[in-house]
Amino acid sequence: MYRYNDFDDAFLAKRNAQFRAQVQRRIDESLTEDEFRPLRLMNGLYLQLHAYMLRVAIPYGTLSADQMRQLALIADKFDKGYGHFTTRQNIQYNWPKLPEVPDILDALAEVNLHAIQTSGNTIRNVTADHFAGAAADEIADPRPVAELIRQWSTDHPEFQFLPRKFKIAITGSPNDRAVTRAHDIGLRMVERDGEAGFEVIVGGGLGRTPVVGKVIRDFLPRADLLPYLEAIVSVYNTLGRRDNKYKARIKITVNENGLDAVRDKVEARFNELRPLFKGVDQDLLAQIEAHFAAPGFVARDEAPYELAYANDPVFRSWADTNLAAHKAPGYAIVSISLKAHGQTPGDATSDQMRLMADLAERYGYGELRISHEQNVILPHVHKADLPALHAALKEQDLATANIGLISDIIACPGMDYCALATARSIPVAQQIAERFDALKLEHDIGPLKIKISGCINACGHHHVGHIGILGLDRAGVENYQITLGGDGTEDAVIGQRTGPGFAYDEITDAIERIIRTYLELREDDGEAFLAAYRRLGADPFKAALYPEAAKKNAA
């Protein structure tokens, strides 16, 4: 894991001192609220429905046990004893008080964490595959490159006042778990003729205009990365629209100007910038890579795992859903669900955070990850330790066996916390999870991604949910639109709307009708929902959702 050097430490201390002064100047009014706004946003501080909200970056989703403990301490000391893990590998605290925020930032700095550029019109926290460094299917660990990008984008003088926010995601695996096609820039690590490089995708995004990103460079040599990124963002800074914030993202810039015109400008700018990078960045990258060396995996007897798997059905069910293939023999990647049925997706209490930190230390080389699906991951656990780990997780309600299943729902904060919301999303997620838990159908249904947003900004990624739910406001009443067939992986697809929306007290029934239709029509239990939908099309699901309309059509 990356450990700050003297430069990083000094930078962050200085930056925190600057923000402390800015808070003071806001309090004494030498800064107007208008002027303070972008400065607090650059430091992760939002003004929310009830209070300020502080968004802390978990760079590329990687945390150490000590960092997790510090997040728990902050939750206790400055908040109400919990934090909320988001889809962009951040943790949000919903109740900090403005004068205390500088102290929180200092507490974060003690463990090499910060809230820099987690909001505002700047390059945001870089996200990466949450299985990075552990997955069996990985070409290379993307985290050293992500750390290099973090350093390059942090405080970049040219890019603090872009037309709009700018998000970069990176994956080192052909199976894209980082949703690279829904980011302003997506990077996929690839190899060509034995040379390492990147496929560069530009102009993806969700929000009110969902767009699947397009390939701007199919092979970029590794050492060209920073000048190429700088060229893209620099061209966007001048070309992006500033007259309408809904048309300001690079996805619109690319659509309005055309990919080829944007590419030409980027390549021209790249040629100017390339000579400025003389290789020091690559030396730095090599140093960073040393920080991410894999732990010393050991060979051990897997018998305790086999025994528990054979004899304990609860353990078996958890192992079947919550484990993923590890690159080292005998090891597993463990996903800890923050989606206990009926809980707020992504919330963790300070006690839960401390337990996860302790378990990471005892069984997982002190490493944790946060996924964009709002779960916590222990990337390196030997199978022999899984029964003990599972037992310990049960104590804190952290052993829910639902990863990738219907109740593993992504939901944005919605009306419960968010000033922009047009509908509730958390209670909808809770109701759906409880319904299918009561029906005992969850494991029978198999892999299914439901994603819920409380307004068209789409923070809950509903466009790429196999089932997406979008909460709107129709004349003062909550109304939920359903989309089907979305997919956030390497074959990214935007889901299609089924038709008119449903009221708050109808939406769970509507989801159940979709699921019952799927269970009836699937070829066998090996055909997952998304595959069945692709084979069947939307019609049978629409017929189930709108029986009246179907009757009329038939008549």
Partner 1 sequence: MSVIVTDNGFQADDFDGDIVALAEAAEGAVAVELAPDADPQALAGRLPTLQLIAVEFPSFADGRGFTTARQLRLMGFTGRLRARGHVISDQYAMARRSGFDEVEISDDLAARQPETEWKFRADWDRHDYQARLRAG
- Residues lying near ligand SF4 in the complex (CB under 6 A) are found at 412-414, 418, 420-421, 453-455, 457-460
Of residues 125 and 321, the one with the C-beta less far from ligand SF4: 125
Per partner kind, with CB cut-offs from 5 to 8 A, the member of ligand SF4, ligand HEM, partner 1, none near residue 237 is: partner 1
**Nearest-5° angle of CA 40, CA 44, CA 47?**
65
CB of 161 to partner 1, least distance (A): 3
Q: Is the dihedral of CA 318, 319, 324, 326 positive or negative?
A: positive
Give the shortest CB-169-to-ligand SF4 separation in angstroms.
18
Query: Toward ligand HEM, which CB reaches closer, 207 or 387?
Result: 207
Q: Which is nearer to ligand SF4, 457 or 489 (CB)?
A: 457
| Closest distance to ligand SF4 from the beta carbon of 489 (Å) | 21
Q: Which parts of this chain interact with ligand HEM (CB under 6 A)?
A: 46, 86-88, 92, 164, 167, 205-207, 249, 412-413, 417-420, 457-459
Decide whether 460 or 501 has the Cβ nearer to ligand SF4. Answer: 460
What is the CB neighbour count within 10 angstroms for residue 151? 18
Q: How many whole angstroms separate alpha carbon 113 and alpha carbon 9?
A: 10
For 321, the enclosing helix (H) or strand (E) is helix 313-322
Q: Which is nearer to ligand SF4, 82 or 541 (CB)?
A: 82
Report the chain's C-alpha Rg in angstroms: 23
Taking CB within 5 to 8 Å according to partner kind, which of ligand SF4, partner 1, ligand HEM, none is near residue 455? ligand SF4
Picked from partner 1, ligand SF4, ligand HEM, none, the partner binding residue 121 (CB below 5 to 8 A depending on kind) is partner 1
Q: How far apart are CA 422 and CA 419, in angstroms?
A: 9
**Nearest alpha-carbon partner for 188 in 554, 490, 440:** 490
Per DSSP, the three-state class of 88 is coil
Least separation in angstroms between residue 429's CB and ligand SF4 is 12
- The conformation of residue 120, written as its DSSP 8-state character, comes to S
Q: Residue 161 CB, nearest distance to ligand HEM (Å)?
A: 15
Query: Closest approach of Cβ 27 to ligand SF4, in Å?
Result: 28
Give min distance, CB of 182 to ligand SF4, in A: 14
Q: Among partner 1, ligand SF4, ligand HEM, none, what binds residue 432 when CB lies within 5 to 8 Å by partner kind?
A: none
Which of residues 270 and 502 has its CB atom nearest to partner 1 in the complex?
270
Task: Please choose which of ligand SF4, ligand HEM, partner 1, none residue 39 contacts, taking the beta carbon within 5 to 8 angstroms, the exact cut-off set by kind.
Answer: partner 1
Which does residue 226 bind out of ligand SF4, partner 1, ligand HEM, none, counting CB within 5 to 8 angstroms by kind? partner 1
Binding site partner of 88, from ligand SF4, ligand HEM, partner 1, none, Cβ cut-off 5-8 A by kind? ligand HEM
Count of all residues that appear for the chain in the document: 555
Element (H, E) at 70: helix 65-78
Pair of tokens at residue 544: 């189930």
Residue with smallest beta-carbon separation from ligand HEM: 207
Q: How far is the CB of 146 from ligand HEM (least distance, A)?
A: 17
Our CB check for partner 1 shows the closer of 11 and 315 to be: 11
Cβ neighbours of 520 (radius 10 Å) = 9
CA distance linking residue 289 with residue 79, whole number of Å: 35
Paired with 305 in beta bridges are none
Name the nearest CA neighbour of 246 among 81, 396, 420, 368. Answer: 420
Q: Which residue, 140 or 420, has its beta carbon nearer to ligand HEM?
A: 420
Instruction: Choose the contact partner of 249 out of partner 1, ligand HEM, ligand SF4, none; CB within 5 to 8 A by kind.
Output: ligand HEM
Q: Record the tokens describing residue 500, joined without a space.
A: 């008119």
Q: What tokens does 529 get?
A: 């929902």
CB of 447 to ligand HEM, least distance (A): 21
Euclidean distance between CA atoms 179 and 308, whole angstroms: 35
103: partner contacted, choices ligand SF4, partner 1, ligand HEM, none (Cβ within 5-8 A by kind): none
- Cβ count within 10 A of residue 126: 30
Farthest CA pair distance, the chain: 76
Cβ neighbors of 91 (< 8 A, separation 6 or more) are 55, 56, 58, 71, 83, 84, 85, 370
Scanning the structure block, which residue is given the tokens 């509507």? 510
* Alpha-carbon span 38 to 418, nearest angstrom: 18
> Of ligand HEM, ligand SF4, partner 1, none, which one does residue 421 interact with (CB within 5 to 8 Å by kind)?
ligand SF4
Nearest-approach distance from CB 93 to partner 1, in angstroms = 24
Q: What are phi and psi of 81, to 5 degrees?
A: 85, 10
Kindly list the residues in this chain that would bind partner 1 in the complex (CB under 8 A): 7, 10-11, 14-15, 18, 21-22, 25, 30-31, 35, 38-39, 121, 151-152, 154-162, 226, 234, 237-238, 242, 272-273, 276-281, 284
Query: CB 468 → ligand SF4: shortest distance, Å?
Result: 12
Strands 496-497, 376-382: pairing kind:
unpaired
Q: Could you say which of ligand HEM, ligand SF4, partner 1, none residue 206 binds, taking C-beta under 5 to 8 angstroms by partner kind?
A: ligand HEM
Q: Which two tokens stand for residue 403?
A: 């990863």
Nearest distance from C-beta of residue 149 to ligand SF4, angstroms? 24
550 Cβ neighbours under 8 A, 6+ residues apart: 542, 543
